[in-house]
Amino acid sequence: MAINGSTLASLKRGQKGVIRAINAADPQVQRLMVLGLVEGTEVEHASSAIGGDPMEFRLFGCGISLRQEHARHFKVVPVVAGD
């Protein structure tokens, strides 16, 4: 299942988004869900390493790093600034 539109990977640094759908076939993605990246959770793209990969996201005060290839499996609705 390919995901169209915004994903975690397309969030800019400092931008927030709410996870709406997840392609959870990959066990790596399931592991990230155990760490708290699930539908309905608001996350912020906090940083990325040199070259933009891996990326760091913050949710409820904790930081999780993951690779771009996995970030693409999380569809998000970006939070509009000023919300």
Partner 1 sequence: MTKTSEIRIPANEITVAKRTEASIAVVGNPNSGKSTLFNRLTGLKQRIGNYPGVTVEKHVGYLKTDDALVELVDLPGTHSLSAHSLEEHIAVDVIFGRIEGTQSPDGILAVLDATNLYQGLFLVQQLVDLELPMIVALTMTDAAEKSGIQVDTAALSALLGVPVYPVVATTGAGLEMLRRAIGGIKEIEPPRRIRVWPELTEAAAEAAEGAHERLRFAELERLLIDGPTAANQAIVAKLSDRGRSKIDALRAALFGDEPPIARDAHIRYAWVRDVLDKVQKAAPAYVSWRTRVTDFLNLPVPGTIGLFLVMAIVFQAVFAWATPIMDAIDATSSSLSTSVFSALGDNAFSSLIADGVIAGVGSVVIFLPQIIILFLFIILLEDSGYLARAAYLMDRAMRSVGLSGQSIIPMISSFACAVPGIMATRVIPSRRDRIATIMAAPFMTCSARLPVYALLIAAFVPATNVGFLNLQGLVLFGLYLFGIVMGILTALLMRKTALRGPKPPFALMLPEFRRPNLQTVAIQLLGRAKVFLKRAGTVIFAVAVIVWALAYFPRSDDIDPGLDANTSAALQMEQSWLGRAGKVVEPVFEPLGWDWRVSSAVIAGFPAREVVIAVLGTVYAVGDEADEGTLSGRLKSATRPDGSKVFTLPMVIGLLIFYACCLQCAATLAIIRRETNTWRWPVFAWGYMTAIGYLGALIAFQLGSA
**What is the closest distance, in whole angstroms, from the C-beta atom of residue 5 to partner 1 in the complex?**
20
Binding of residue 51 to partner 1 (CB under 8 A): yes
19 CB-contact burial (10 Å; exposed 0-12 / middle 13-18 / buried 19+) = buried
Binding of residue 53 to partner 1 (CB under 8 A): yes
Nearest to residue 8, comparing CAs of 79, 82, 62, 83? 79
- Among the candidate windows 1-9, 25-33, 74-82, which touches partner 1 by CB under 8 A? 25-33
Residues 30 and 73: beta-carbon distance below 8 Å: no
Contact positions toward partner 1, by CB under 8 A?
A: 22, 24-25, 27-36, 38-41, 46-54, 56, 59-67, 70
